[in-house]
Amino acid sequence: MEISLELVKDLRQRTGAGIVDCKTALQQAGGNIEAAIDYLRKKGLATAAKKAGRIATDGLVASYIHAGGKMGVLVEINCETDFVAKTEDFQSFVKNMAMHIAAANPQFIKREDVPQEVLDKEREIYRTQALESGKPAKVIDKIVEGKLERFYSEVCLLEQTYIKDSDLTVKEVLDGMIGKIGENIAIRRFARFQLGEGLSSRS
């Protein structure tokens, strides 16, 4: 079917994908822009999976200061080449990740980073809550695992809902960027500082 240039431009603006990819996605989706967005996201995920094994040793360390100097974030995000590290797309992505970390306060990058003792403590709390609420014993484990999934989505950066688009997780945004620039990208580490955090209230 014939795809109008206006529709291609609209999809490009919403996804950041290339013109050819946008046109292909719209043709595959029969001109439906929402279906075309899904097509591009799936394509980005497939591309990201292929590139995930490649080593990313270049990149940027970026900072973000918020709330009149009362909160700050440092984040290191790696890519494969200095060329990509200097692109506007990559630099914008790094800045947006720093802003997301400031707003969403993740504790870990991915669920594999959560220490076993933390998971054990969370499981114990959820199990006690479920038992005290009188839930049947046969559903306790399912309730605990469900709450643990929610815990991951709150404290793990890659599983958090992206602050600039509530339809996406940070992982989906990352995978989309990998698909767009054609290099592996890894969020390596971050630190978030809040003024007075951890200090005693005593003078």
CA angle centred on 157, ends 106 and 140, rounded to 5°? 85
> Which residue is listed with tokens 């997780």?
169
Q: How many domains does the chain have?
A: 3
Mean predicted confidence (pLDDT) in 130-156 = 89
What is the Cα gyration radius of the chain? 21
**What would the pLDDT profile of 80-130 be if each residue is shown by its tens digit?**
889 999 999 999 999 999 999 999 999 999 999 999 999 999 999 998 988
Please report, for the domain that includes residue 30, its CATH number.
1.10.8.10
Mean pLDDT for the chain overall: 86
Closest by CA to 189, choosing from 129, 125, 101, 118, is: 101
Please report, for the domain that includes residue 119, its CATH number.
1.10.286.20
Within-domain flag for 189 = yes
Within-domain flag for 78 = yes
Structural domain of residue 143, as residue ranges? 115-154
**Percentage of the chain with pLDDT > 90?**
47
Please report, for the domain that includes residue 69, its CATH number.
3.30.479.20
The whole-angstrom separation of Cα 179 and Cα 49 is 9
Give, as one character, the DSSP assignment of residue 111: G
Closest by CA to 107, choosing from 59, 170, 62, 158, is: 158
The H-or-E segment that residue 12 falls in is helix 5-15
What's the order of all strands across the beta sheet hosting 58-66? 58-66, 71-79, 186-194
- Mark whether 71 and 32 lie in a shared domain: no
